[in-house]
Chains A and B, each alone.
Chain A
Amino acid sequence: MNIFREIADSFIDAELEVINSLVLQDPQPCVKEVCGIIKIYLENEKSNIFDDTDLISIKKQLSLISEIIDLFIMALPNESSWWVMPLVKECYELCNLDFTQRKILIIHSQDSSYYKVIPDITSNISNIVYDNNTKIDIFIIPIVACYDVSSISILGHEVGHIALNSIDIFDKFVTDEFVNQYPDNLDLLDYEKRKELKELRQKIALYIAEYVCDHIGYKLFGPAFAYALLKEFCPYISQPKSNSDSHPSQVSRFLNSYKKLKDYFSESEQANKGLNICIKNMIDNISPLLGNTLKPLDDEHQDKIEQFSSEVAGKISDMLTITPSKPLEEIWKLVEPEINAFRPPFEKVSENQPEIISPIEAVTATSIYYHGKHYTEHNDFYKVSLNHNNNKISTLHNKLIDHLKYAISLYDFAKASNKKCCQSLSAEDLTTTLWSMRTRDTGGSPNPLVITPSIDPKSQYSPNSVDLRLGTSFLLNKLTNYTHVTPTKGDGSNEIPLEKFYIKKHIQVGDDFILHPHHFILATTLEYICLPYDYYALVLGRSSWGRLGLTIATATTVHAGFRGCLTLELRNLGETPLLLKVGLRIAQLCLISVQADKTSAGYYASSGKYIGPVSAEIPKIRTDCDWDILDNYQKNIAG
């Protein structure tokens, strides 16, 4: 074997090892398929190495393959973002992207501060994957998406890049525009001029793409997207970053977004008042930044490039047929009551067939709701919570995001069920069941029992109880080096966080979970429960499961007025493992009337610890006041 082949072998074998270990981790089938093709290609390439030039060629191929394999590793299902997929799918649908021909991989990245997208990743190894018709798009979702309600809509811009990947309007249109704009620069015989023009061309091409993607973002998410961009560029408006070759200046995009946001404000008296006030508040949040702080780029050439790119992008976006599912006002009317009631925006609650809220509608309205400060007068939690104002806003913001993510994650299941089980459902069908409490009114105020999403009301609701399904969130006990759990408050130095005893797990609807004999886990109900203030509830097992040895709850009381998914304490008392499927009916909720007047604020006005949960939560026993009482007592005795 020659020395060059020996060197190449070591490079190739190292990459093959990485690929093998990826395949062993059970990636998505499309990834497995591509890995198989790459492996065959690399094995064959080993025999094509004869000299130093072959070595640099194979190193180039390997560097690209390695980059792609790294992305596949980051996109392994365990690491993926569990909630974002239905939102991406809806954006694809509205952008007329053929979903059957594309696979989507999600990377939920702690390392990235920005959204990123790589359309059709396998086309980058087109010399290897010649006959692969399936396109694989990779989205990198930054961790900030879990902490900022507006930033979720930036996904619209990223989907824009996928849409651009699939349209052919660039062909003549952009060419003509470019030649018209830069006729004097065509001195292509000069090497330096040629390079300069190529760089300019690429810069403009990238700018146009970015502007078009912004337009797609506006079309998909409306004011929510405009506001997200404004927030994104706030840090740079007084000190714009140096000119980027790939992105137009932040100032220019900031001004475009501001103009767009103002366009959503309506002067008409017929306009929805609540929505209009929100838009006005959003504009007012931004307006002070336009004064002294906004510094435009002091570069005439750059300005010209940006203006040209922006104009061309505007013309291209006019030709795009992306239409939101509903006008903004309708979206607002659909979603606002749900957020007001401190519920995940699954559906418009009614006694008849519920109208499902789509992920884009949910994101758009939630962002407007929060940034337009609509909650101050309308949100049930905000109005009754006894917390300090800043804490209240912070808790509300976190919960709005949790609820939003939860509603998005279950959208496909809720939509499919709505189509199958709720079609032409009417109040008469369920008149003798607890379903009729959905629109209940007591003393002139709404005081309903609402359980969402509505999956199959006819089989779930009975006159005495409502069946509940196994949810997607689990907390599993893990083996540790600690001798025992100490629920008491420590003095800080010896306190072992309760989190150390649990592993979080998310399982998709329809997937299996095996509960082994005598194992104890925390799970949740799939449904989000809103109890009236004059009823408390008991959560009980279903007898069919009980006969198989499954207990579902040990602390069964749910307080009047509680809102959230219920945490279930599952244990398999039998001697054989039990296969549970996420989404199966597993528990039942029974209501018990209590004496309460309508002014009672219920759970959130008391010191309720579990606020609007949508996942299994670690016990918060350390926040109990009992520890202080006992501590105080012991000190007194000792003293």
Chain B
Amino acid sequence: MSYMSLIESNARNAVAMLVLNKLRHKLLKREGASVAEPEIALIDKSIEIYQSTTLTKDMIIYSFYSVGNIAKSSALELSDAIDTALNSLAAMKKDKVDFINSLKNVLDCLRSDQPVTEKDKELSLDLIRHAMYTISSGDSANKDSIINPITF
């Protein structure tokens, strides 16, 4: 990847990580924790991309680096992280659908200012943590390429 797309890839992952952590803080009821509407929308979009059975416009546009809004484009990276996290949870004999539905319920509750059920909270936290570690583990792979990028 080029230097430009490496930085943006890191940036997108950083946005994804930050948004997930904010949601985690909110679910854990940490002091001052809040999740803004654009952040809820971002997670929503990433779930939509994950569940999509057709190629959507966003999926293609977000594939371009340096085009458009990085925060919005990070839905692609977030969707990837959720995808991989769900696969690793499935490998532990857990049902993917439960996790993704819980996360959707959590987002709905946040939007409507309703309390989140304990089950949805637990499953979502598990998924979020897995997704965050998925993003984190991708770091080392990028570093080598930054030192010697193929670009101009």
Given known contacts A60-B135, A67-B10, A119 and B66 CB-to-CB distance under 8 angstroms: yes
A544 at the interface (CB under 8 A from B): no
Q: In the bound complex, how far is the Cα of B66 from the Cα of A232, in angstroms?
A: 24
User: By the criterion CB–CB under 8 Å, are A161 and B151 in contact?
Assistant: no
B89 at the interface (CB under 8 A from A): no
User: By the criterion CB–CB under 8 Å, are B71 and A161 in contact?
Assistant: no
Contacts of A209 in B (CB 8 A): 64-67
User: By the criterion CB–CB under 8 Å, are A127 and B18 in contact?
Assistant: yes
Q: Which of A214-265 contact B (CB under 8 A)?
A: 232, 241, 244-247
User: By the criterion CB–CB under 8 Å, are B17 and A57 in contact?
Assistant: yes
User: By the criterion CB–CB under 8 Å, are B129 and A157 in contact?
Assistant: no
Contacts of A59 in B (CB 8 A): 136
User: By the criterion CB–CB under 8 Å, are A175 and B57 in contact?
Assistant: yes
- Nearest CB of chain B from residue A76's CB, rounded to whole Å: 19
B152 interface neighbour in A123, A126, A154, A208, Cβ under 8 Å:
A154
Contacts of B63 in A (CB 8 A): 198, 201-202, 204-205
B41 at the interface (CB under 8 A from A): no
A498 at the interface (CB under 8 A from B): no
B66 interface neighbour in A164, A194, A195, Cβ under 8 Å:
A164
Q: In the bound complex, how far is the Cα of B1 from the Cα of A188, in angstroms?
A: 24
Contact with B along A183-208 (1 / 0, CB 8 A): 00010110100110110011011101
Contacts of A172 in B (CB 8 A): 57
User: By the criterion CB–CB under 8 Å, are B150 and A247 in contact?
Assistant: yes
B124 at the interface (CB under 8 A from A): no
A186 interface neighbour in B2, B54, B65, B68, Cβ under 8 Å:
B54
Given known contacts A56-B132, A56-B133, A206 and B70 CB-to-CB distance under 8 angstroms: no
Contacts of B1 in A (CB 8 A): 206, 245-246
Contacts of A161 in B (CB 8 A): 4, 66
B114 at the interface (CB under 8 A from A): no
Contacts of B25 in A (CB 8 A): 48
Q: In the bound complex, how far is the Cα of B49 from the Cα of A194, in angstroms?
A: 11
Contacts of A195 in B (CB 8 A): 80, 83
A435 at the interface (CB under 8 A from B): no
Q: Which of B51-107 contact A (CB under 8 A)?
A: 52-55, 57, 59-61, 63-71, 76, 80, 83, 87
Contacts of B109 in A (CB 8 A): none
User: By the criterion CB–CB under 8 Å, are B64 and A67 in contact?
Assistant: no
A103 at the interface (CB under 8 A from B): no
Q: In the bound complex, how far is the Cα of B67 from the Cα of A165, in angstroms?
A: 5
A7 at the interface (CB under 8 A from B): no
Contact with B along A378-407 (1 / 0, CB 8 A): 000000000000000000000000000000
Contacts of A578 in B (CB 8 A): none
Q: In the bound complex, how far is the Cα of B71 from the Cα of A194, in angstroms?
A: 22
A322 at the interface (CB under 8 A from B): no
Given known contacts A64-B14, A125-B11, A161-B66, A117 and B4 CB-to-CB distance under 8 angstroms: yes
User: By the criterion CB–CB under 8 Å, are B64 and A170 in contact?
Assistant: yes
User: By the criterion CB–CB under 8 Å, are B55 and A116 in contact?
Assistant: no
Given known contacts A116-B149, A127-B14, A205-B60, A54 and B21 CB-to-CB distance under 8 angstroms: yes
Contacts of A154 in B (CB 8 A): 152
- Nearest CB of chain B from residue A400's CB, rounded to whole Å: 22
Task: Select the residue from B4, B10, B24, B68 with max chain A CB neighbours within 10 A.
Answer: B4
Q: In the bound complex, how far is the Cα of B55 from the Cα of A140, in angstroms?
A: 36
Q: In the bound complex, how far is the Cα of B63 from the Cα of A182, in angstroms?
A: 15
Given known contacts A116-B2, A186-B54, A188-B53, A60 and B7 CB-to-CB distance under 8 angstroms: no
Given known contacts A57-B132, A115-B152, A247 and B61 CB-to-CB distance under 8 angstroms: no
A511 at the interface (CB under 8 A from B): no
B117 at the interface (CB under 8 A from A): no
User: By the criterion CB–CB under 8 Å, are B152 and A170 in contact?
Assistant: no
Given known contacts A175-B60, A244-B150, A126 and B2 CB-to-CB distance under 8 angstroms: no
B13 at the interface (CB under 8 A from A): yes
User: By the criterion CB–CB under 8 Å, are A188 and B52 in contact?
Assistant: yes
User: By the criterion CB–CB under 8 Å, are B80 and A198 in contact?
Assistant: yes
Q: Which of B1-59 contact A (CB under 8 A)?
A: 1-5, 7-8, 10-11, 13-15, 17-21, 24-25, 30, 52-55, 57, 59
Given known contacts A186-B55, A201-B63, A205-B65, A247 and B133 CB-to-CB distance under 8 angstroms: no
Contact with B along A267-288 (1 / 0, CB 8 A): 0000000000000000000000
A439 at the interface (CB under 8 A from B): no
Q: In the bound complex, how far is the Cα of B2 from the Cα of A161, in angstroms?
A: 12
Contacts of A178 in B (CB 8 A): 55, 60
Contacts of A118 in B (CB 8 A): 3-4, 7
A61 at the interface (CB under 8 A from B): yes
Q: In the bound complex, how far is the Cα of B21 from the Cα of A124, in angstroms?
A: 18
A170 interface neighbour in B14, B67, B76, B151, Cβ under 8 Å:
B67
User: By the criterion CB–CB under 8 Å, are B139 and A60 in contact?
Assistant: yes
Contacts of B21 in A (CB 8 A): 53-54, 57
User: By the criterion CB–CB under 8 Å, are B129 and A175 in contact?
Assistant: no
Contacts of B150 in A (CB 8 A): 241, 244, 246-247
A50 at the interface (CB under 8 A from B): yes
Q: In the bound complex, how far is the Cα of B66 from the Cα of A123, in angstroms?
A: 9
- Nearest CB of chain B from residue A211's CB, rounded to whole Å: 13
Contact with B along A290-334 (1 / 0, CB 8 A): 000000000000000000000000000000000000000000000
User: By the criterion CB–CB under 8 Å, are A126 and B71 in contact?
Assistant: yes
Residue of B nearest to A165 (CB): B66
- Nearest CB of chain B from residue A259's CB, rounded to whole Å: 20
User: By the criterion CB–CB under 8 Å, are B11 and A63 in contact?
Assistant: no
A247 interface neighbour in B55, B71, B139, B151, Cβ under 8 Å:
B151
- Nearest CB of chain A from residue B132's CB, rounded to whole Å: 6
A175 interface neighbour in B10, B52, B61, Cβ under 8 Å:
B61
User: What 10 pairs between A and B have smallest CB-CB spacing?
Assistant: A124-B11, A114-B152, A205-B63, A201-B63, A57-B21, A205-B64, A115-B152, A56-B136, A246-B2, A175-B57
Q: A124-B8, A125-B11, A247-B151 are in contact. List 16 more A-B contacts (CB 8 A).
A: A48-B25, A56-B17, A67-B10, A116-B149, A116-B152, A126-B11, A126-B71, A127-B18, A158-B152, A170-B68, A198-B80, A201-B63, A205-B65, A241-B150, A246-B5, A247-B150
B interface with A by C-beta (< 8 Å): 1-5, 7-8, 10-11, 13-15, 17-21, 24-25, 30, 52-55, 57, 59-61, 63-71, 76, 80, 83, 87, 129, 132-133, 135-136, 139, 146, 149-152
List 19 A-B residue pairs with CB atoms under 8 Å apart, sorted by A's residue number.
A53-B21, A53-B132, A61-B17, A63-B14, A114-B149, A124-B7, A124-B11, A125-B14, A127-B14, A127-B19, A161-B66, A164-B67, A170-B68, A179-B55, A191-B87, A195-B80, A205-B63, A205-B65, A247-B150
A interface with B by C-beta (< 8 Å): 48, 50, 53-54, 56-57, 59-61, 63-64, 67-68, 114-121, 123-127, 140, 154, 157-158, 161, 164-165, 167, 170-172, 174-175, 178-179, 182, 186, 188-189, 191, 194-195, 197-198, 201-202, 204-206, 208-209, 232, 241, 244-247
